[in-house]
């Protein structure tokens, strides 16, 4: 198979990193439903769970492995043989199984989480990969807290695990610490200094503690990573993970980056709603791509420009991400153009002075009512007797 150097693989961890969020826990049937939607969305890899963590998570990996055919199904482990044995068992029905094993790579984690040394951690990493490779061909290694790790030690670790059989090396910014240029430089350093790096795909896995998860993921891709890990709606530990919908639409919008995915972006709106509902985690209204206001225009200046040419204020077409349509929201900041647009939509063609009259009544109403709906507009027109008479002539 010829490998397309510009193809970015999408690794979804909604059902693992996303599901770790308190209150977001799902039953196995709910996870299967989301996994099927992820398959329809076109993700390349579904991280289905952390099988050793609980019998429920183990069962979910088993059932998701049976339910989907196209995506690779991935199971998370720590770098020890016990975790790997359980993960191997959970993946027995997967058409394309992957084990995702790893260990801390920063001195912070090595000293204060593992109470260990770099040498010992390196040996454990290599042993975990080599052991997992006995059972499964596709092995992803994560260097936890790579964002804060010493880059030379990280390069040494990455080279060693690739030599042991890792097919993908995940460089997580576990704590969402890096600036985009720092994270991008780290990925480029690995690309340029790890001798066997051409034998593996570099993966970016960013957290959003400083609101930089998407920016850092893009910086990683610009510097040579070809797999991006994230979740739907950006849910995940603490401030969340990278939003898959954001990265995909950035690559589509900025074609000059020359990178593409296999994602069917028109499915984003539907899957976003499904995840929000099932995980009881509402999407903030101003969330990029899938938030309720992502395509709502409310100020007079924007509405006027949008009605003249939608591209004045729209860089993505709502239908391209499955959004029902753009909306012109009527508020006390709206102008006559927006009001005229909605009145004509309801069948009322008014001349200039009639529109002026209705606009004045509209402003009074909008100052006192947050949400102006079609009923309110009908009332504004019919309450103006002269207009009704004119319209009936
Ligand atoms: O954030 C992280 O480092 C992780 C790893 C387990 C991949 O989620
Ligand atoms: Zn994570």
Strands 201-206 and 72-76, bridge-based pairing: unpaired
Question: Nearest 5°: phi and psi at 335?
Answer: -105, -175
Mean pLDDT for 329-352 is 94
- Does residue 392 register a pLDDT over 80? no
* pLDDT (tens digit per residue) in 98-126: 999 999 999 999 999 999 999 999 999 99
229 Cβ below 6 A of ligand 1 = no
Mean pLDDT of the chain: 95
- Does residue 355 register a pLDDT over 80? yes
31 Cβ below 6 A of ligand 1 = no
Strand ranges, E, within the chain: 9-12, 45-49, 72-76, 97-104, 138-144, 168-173, 201-206, 227-230, 296-297, 327-328
* pLDDT (tens digit per residue) in 132-191: 999 999 999 999 999 999 999 999 999 999 999 999 999 999 999 999 999 999 999 999
Identify the pLDDT of residue 2: 61
The pLDDT-based confidence of 246 (bands split at 50, 70, 90) is: very high
* pLDDT (tens digit per residue) in 20-37: 998 999 999 999 999 999
Identify the pLDDT of residue 385: 47
174 Cβ below 6 A of ligand 1 = yes
If one compares 3 and 345, the residue with the highest pLDDT of the two is 345
3-state secondary structure of 343: helix
3-state secondary structure of 328: strand
13 Cβ below 6 A of ligand 1 = no
Q: What's the pTM value of the predicted model, to 2 decimals? A: 0.94
Identify the pLDDT of residue 269: 97
Mean pLDDT for 49-74 is 98
- Determine contact, residues 104/121, Cβ cutoff 8 Å: yes
**Residue 132 neighbours by CB under 8 Å, 6+ apart:** 77, 84, 87, 88, 99, 101, 139, 165
17 Cβ below 6 A of ligand 1 = yes
Identify the pLDDT of residue 370: 86
Mean pLDDT for 367-388 is 84
Mutate to test the pocket of ligand 1, among 172, 202, 237 (most ligand atoms within 8 A of CB): 172
Identify the pLDDT of residue 383: 87
Identify the pLDDT of residue 389: 54
Residue identifier of the C-alpha nearest atom 1 of ligand 1:
174
Q: Enumerate long-range contacts of 67-70, CB under 8 Å, 24 or more apart.
A: 67/32, 67/35, 67/36, 68/35, 68/36, 68/38, 68/39, 69/39, 69/95, 70/39
- Determine contact, residues 50/86, Cβ cutoff 8 Å: no
Lowest mean pLDDT among 86-90, 277-281, 296-300: 296-300
Residue extent(s) of CATH 3.20.20.70 domains in the chain: 9-278
3-state secondary structure labels for all residues of 235-302: CCCCCCECEHHHHHHHHHHCHHHCCECCCCHHHHHHHHHHHHHHCCCCCCCCCCCCCCCCCEECCHHH
**Residue 181 neighbours by CB under 8 Å, 6+ apart:** 219
Residue identifier of the C-alpha nearest atom 2 of ligand 1:
174
- Determine contact, residues 46/68, Cβ cutoff 8 Å: yes
Which CATH code is given to the segment(s) 9-278? 3.20.20.70
- Determine contact, residues 214/246, Cβ cutoff 8 Å: yes
The HSE-up count of residue 43 (CA atoms within 13 Å, CB side) is: 31
**Nearest atom (ligand 1) to Cα of 142:** 7
Residue 107, exposed/middle/buried by CB under 10 A (0-12, 13-18, 19+)? Answer: middle
The two tokens of residue 359 are 């606009």
Mutate to test the pocket of ligand 1, among 108, 142, 161, 217 (most ligand atoms within 8 A of CB): 142
> What CA–CA distance (Å, rounded) separates 170 from 152?
16
* pLDDT (tens digit per residue) in 277-297: 999 999 999 999 999 999 999
Rg of the chain, C-alpha, whole Å: 26
The two tokens of residue 4 are 């397309």
- Name which of 193, 270, 259 is nearest 225 in CA terms: 259
The HSE-up count of residue 262 (CA atoms within 13 Å, CB side) is: 17
DSSP per position, 22-61:
TT----HHHHHHHHHHHHHHT-SEEEEE-GGG-HHHHHHH
Identify the pLDDT of residue 388: 53
Mutate to test the pocket of ligand 1, among 174, 234, 238, 239 (most ligand atoms within 8 A of CB): 174
Name beta bridge partners: 103. 143
């Amino acid at each position: 198979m010829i490998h397309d150097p510009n193809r970015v693989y999408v690794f979804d961890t909604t059902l693992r990193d996303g599901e770790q969020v308190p209150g977001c826990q799902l039953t196995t049937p709910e996870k299967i439903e989301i996994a099927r939607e992820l398959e329809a969305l076109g993700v390349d890899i579904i991280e289905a769970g952390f099988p050793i963590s609980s019998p429920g998570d183990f069962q979910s990996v088993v059932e998701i492995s049976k339910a989907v055919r196209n995506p690779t199904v991935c199971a998370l482990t720590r770098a020890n043989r016990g975790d790997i044995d359980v993960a191997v068992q959970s993946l027995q029905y997967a058409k394309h199984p992957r084990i995702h094993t790893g260990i801390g790579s920063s001195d912070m984690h090595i000293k204060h989480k593992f109470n260990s040394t770099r040498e010992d951690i390196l040996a454990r990493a290599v042993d975990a990969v080599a052991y997992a490779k006995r059972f499964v061909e596709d092995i992803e290694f994560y260097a936890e807290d790579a964002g804060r790790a010493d880059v030379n030690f990280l390069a040494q670790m990455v080279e060693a695990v690739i030599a042991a059989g890792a097919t993908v090396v995940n460089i997580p910014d576990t704590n969402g610490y890096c600036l985009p240029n720092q994270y991008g430089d780290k990925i480029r350093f690995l690309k340029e200094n790890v001798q066997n790096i051409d034998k593996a795909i570099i993966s970016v896995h960013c957290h959003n503690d400083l609101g930089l998860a998407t920016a850092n993921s893009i910086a990683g891709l610009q510097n040579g990573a070809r797999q991006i890990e994230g979740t739907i709606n950006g849910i995940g530990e603490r401030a969340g993970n990278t939003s898959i919908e954001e990265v995909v639409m950035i690559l589509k919008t900025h074609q000059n980056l020359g990178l593409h995915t296999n994602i069917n972006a028109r499915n984003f709106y539907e899957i976003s709603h499904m995840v929000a509902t099932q995980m009881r985690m509402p999407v903030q209204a101003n969330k990029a791509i899938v938030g309720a206001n992502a395509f709502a225009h409310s100020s007079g200046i924007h509405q006027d420009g949008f009605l003249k040419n939608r591209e004045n204020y729209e860089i993505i077409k709502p239908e391209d991400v499955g959004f029902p349509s753009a909306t012109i929201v009527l508020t006390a900041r709206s102008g006559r153009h927006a009001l005229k647009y909605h009145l004509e939509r309801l069948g009322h063609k008014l001349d200039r002075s009639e529109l002026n009259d209705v606009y004045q009544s509209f402003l009074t109403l909008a100052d006192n009512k947050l949400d102006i709906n079609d009923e309110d507009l009908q009332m504004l027109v019919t309450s103006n007797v002269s207009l009704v008479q004119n319209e009936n002539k």
